[in-house]
Structure 1
Amino acid sequence: MRKRTFMATAAVAAAIALSPMALVAGGHLEKYNLLPDKPFAGTKLNILSVVTPQFDGLMLRDEEFTELTGIETEWTFIPFGSLQEKINAEGIAANGTFDVVNYLDSWGPPNAHWLKRIDELMARDGISMDRYPAAFARSAQYEGETLGFPLRAHPQLMFYRKDLIPEPPKSWDDVIRIGKELKETHPDIAPLALYYNNDGNRQNLFIWINFLWAAGADIFNEDGSAAWASPEGIQATKDYIELHTVHQVTNPNSLAFVEQDARQSFMQGNSAMIPVWWWAYSGFYNPESSTLTKDQVAFTGMPSYQGKTKTYAISMPFSISTYSQNQDAAWEFLKWLSNPEMDKANAIEREVAGKPIVNNVVTHISSLQDADVNAANDGIQAAAWESLKESDIMPQIPEWPEIGDILSAAIAEAAAGGDVETLMKDAAERADKVLRRAGRL
């Protein structure tokens, strides 16, 4: 084993000695930009991934990767609710148990010290982050450097019951109007499923931030201080909260709902509209999880606020651990895993290695605009592409989880009847203390 590892290292050193132009223009790279001559044959990679049909589809295809490179893989799948704790434990242990790890983008900055920068490798092998929508690309970067590839990434869409709502809402005013009409015509169905619960994953910020950005407000000022307590930010927050407290078009259980609860409410026919990630679409009409049929479910872009639409995008990148003893082999794996051909195939093929796979998630611009991908998924990628044109991500700073928790608690308390202005100003003061402690102010 030691001999094999040494020989692999020597072989790749010779390959890396070639200039980037020689590797790309000279045709020395193999399929999917892989290095020639299988320099890491015999290596075994351990992959940590969230549980999702999308990644099941990739895992079930990895025999191709082994055939092309001689590298074997072992996948460990973790439910999302347990993944952050697992990632934190890996960073603390620093033992390289996993060569490649999958994480939520906002967890990247606090763990950036042990995630490998890949910009030089991308330049060497002719790969550009321009293949992704701008928000997706930024979500896998930290302080101008690339930590990995955003292989699971989501725009927001508004899903609605088209058997109850003939014309989709274009604005949040439309949502309120439609909601009040539904309360008259279908009092047994809540108009809108939202999630205000302070769940520890900051999910109640996901829709709020649409209001904030559309109002021209932001999370941080140019000097790094908290910005959401501006007059524009306060009003946007009030309007988000008043969907529940004043207009009462939300599901009565929205205070207790996390995102999964809201999705269940929609799938069980208890709510007529839900703003949520695009990946949820197939589950909304899956007879194993939903009471709805495909004919009842439709989607549209996120509603505008004050005449403007700006949405939140999120991703779950894959990165290489700097604690790994197999970093070069792991880079070969990332190139294969992220290639555009597989991105497309994984959203079109409904069976992989004999297992049914239903997945509409793609991350490449080419896939979002691809006619075959859209034909296989009812055009949801085209709707997502429109959403992504005006999207942004949460702040990529190590202090964000702590600051986001402060904001999330304030939002939950406001939705329960607390004074919005007082709560948001207090949250801003507490956030500034965190930032000063970190030396950012």
Structure 2
Amino acid sequence: MKRKTAFKLTSLLLIISLMAVGCSPSDKASQSQDDKTISVLLSAGEVGQFNAWQARTEEFTEKTGINVEYIIVPYKNLLEDITTAGISGQGTYDVVAYLDTMGPSIQQFLEPLNDYAKKGNFEFDRWPEAALNLSTYDNKMYSLPVRSHVQMLFYRKDIFQQLNIDKPETWEDLVAAGKKVQEKTDLSGIVPYYGAGNNGQNLYMWTSYLWSNGGDIFNEDMKPIFNKKKGVEATERYINLLDQIAPSGSKTFGEQDARTYFQQGKAAMWIGWWWAYSGFNSDSSDLSGNVGFAQVPKWEGKQSVSNVISFPMAMMKGSKNKQAAWEYLKWLAEPGLERDIVMDTLTNESPPKQHSIVVTQKANLKNNKLNELSNGFYNVGYENFQSAKTFPTIPEWPQVADILSTAVNKMATGGAVEPTLNQAAQRIEELMKEAGYYKKGS
């Protein structure tokens, strides 16, 4: 009996041992991590910030045990891929990047983040209000604005020093500076971009004129008002740059065309997205180390009003790994991660393909070290963010933008300002009426 008992005991121990070998700790970890793999959709284009996230993801996995699989698609396919995944509800993607203007059309496929933030004491107000507005629909946060861009004025430091020109504070100063540049050099004063299309890029500088003058696109009832007195004044001033200090080619320029024109040293000023600053100062740039920056100009006696665009990150409603997806979003939003990526860029500690100057959080915008390394770039960015406005986050905005973008180009190529604005306002009001924005009889 003792021998049989001992044999049974030995056999049992052997079976347990074999079972343990068949499920080693490494296999358990692998199995656990497989259960915690999330899929993240990003836009292609060698975006330095996206590349830096991917390069540092191992740190996130070590910290959380969550693996991250990145799917990179061309920008032109981004909206279609998100929409297709959202309709299927199969959890194809857990986290997605999207352009802010896509937000209203894909809102139904995104998971509101307010409850997640409340449970974890996660504060949204770390970001400027303008950036938050582009992630907010129906008073709920649907994404984190971890990639946001503000407009800034860029200028040729050598030309301004040579001609003893101060940084323009008003639109009047800008025209005066541009005229002096054109009188004394062979450069254009400024290179704007009036070309239609390009996601409505020709509207951003126009709205800086409009908003600073106290005008707006819609009133509180969503009726167009850009064709009223303040809007007409602002538009005439914006279009008149062509007769004063802008090259004729800018009538058809898109944002990239104008940016390239400036970077080639053909104009003294350019207004556009702040991310371009790193390109202006790259080794391949004709202007490396010679570009200054300032707030977007304002109307005399009024406030500067810049514009903001965003490429936020959101959780898909169909995700099967929502808690893991939230952990990843929180990691992207860590102030230290954002600060370190930019710090490594400014000190050349990271490879060029991971370079990013994008800072979105207020604390980092005011960070002393970052401003010391950038000659106060982020302090100016902070002021622009704080005074900025954004386009309406409504599903109809792409159609509205197309109408306005076409109108701006028409005026730049000779169309009368007030009649063109009136025609655009009428078309937009009809569009908004069909969409159900107005009460009957209004």
TM-score for the superposition, normalised by structure 2: 0.86
Choose from 277, 284, 295 the match for 1:301. Answer: 295
1:24 aligned residue? none
Does the aligned pair in 1 maintain the 2:198–2:254 contact within 8 Å? no
Could you tell me which runs of 5 or more consecutive residues in structure 1 were left unpaired when the two chains were aligned. 1-37
**1:164 counterpart = 2:155:** no
Does the aligned pair in 2 maintain the 1:60–1:353 contact within 8 Å? no
Which structure has the highest strand share of the two? Answer: 1
Return the alpha-carbon distance in structure 2 between the equivalents of residues 95 and 408 of structure 1: 37
**1:46 counterpart = 2:45:** no
Q: Please state whether the residue corresponding to 1:387 is helix, strand or coil.
A: helix
2:354 aligned residue? 357
The alignment of Structure 1 onto Structure 2 pairs a total of residues equal to 399
Does the aligned pair in 2 maintain the 1:40–1:69 contact within 8 Å? no
1:334 aligned residue? 329
Q: What are the equivalent positions in structure 2 for 1:129-208 lying under 5 Å apart?
A: 129-166=124-161, 167-187=166-186, 189-208=187-206
Return the alpha-carbon distance in structure 2 between the equivalents of residues 330 and 103 of structure 1: 16
**1:278 counterpart = 2:274:** yes
Q: Please state whether the residue corresponding to 1:386 is helix, strand or coil.
A: helix
Alpha-carbon offset, residue 293 of structure 1: 2.3
Does the aligned pair in 2 maintain the 1:57–1:352 contact within 8 Å? no
**1:120 counterpart = 2:119:** no
1:390 aligned residue? 387
Choose from 49, 69, 72 the match for 2:64. Answer: 69
Choose from 362, 366, 371 the match for 2:363. Answer: 366
Alpha-carbon offset, residue 83 of structure 1: 3.8
Give the aligned residue type for 1:133. P
Could you tell me which runs of 5 or more consecutive residues in structure 2 were left unpaired when the two chains were aligned. 1-30
- CA 1:95 to 1:250, structure 2 compared with 1: closer, same or farther past 3 Å? farther
1:241 aligned residue? 239
Q: Please state whether the residue corresponding to 1:206 is helix, strand or coil.
A: helix
Alpha-carbon offset, residue 355 of structure 1: 6.1
Return the alpha-carbon distance in structure 1 between the equivalents of residues 53 and 375 of structure 2: 22
Does the aligned pair in 2 maintain the 1:200–1:405 contact within 8 Å? no
Return the alpha-carbon distance in structure 2 between the equivalents of residues 316 and 165 of structure 1: 34
Q: Please state whether the residue corresponding to 1:148 is helix, strand or coil.
A: coil
Choose from 82, 97, 102 the match for 2:97. Answer: 102
Alpha-carbon offset, residue 332 of structure 1: 1.1
Calculate the aligned-residue CA RMSD, in Å: 2.0
Does the aligned pair in 1 maintain the 2:217–2:225 contact within 8 Å? yes
Give the aligned residue type for 1:389. Q
Give the aligned residue type for 2:176. R
Does the aligned pair in 1 maintain the 2:145–2:310 contact within 8 Å? yes
Alpha-carbon offset, residue 97 of structure 1: 2.4
Does the aligned pair in 2 maintain the 1:158–1:300 contact within 8 Å? yes
- CA 1:208 to 1:181, structure 2 compared with 1: closer, same or farther past 3 Å? same
- CA 1:268 to 1:395, structure 2 compared with 1: closer, same or farther past 3 Å? same
User: Which structure is larger by alpha-carbon Rg, 1 or 2?
Assistant: 2
1:221 aligned residue? 219
Which structure has the highest helix share of the two? Answer: 2
- CA 1:91 to 1:389, structure 2 compared with 1: closer, same or farther past 3 Å? same
Choose from 403, 406, 410 the match for 1:409. Answer: 406
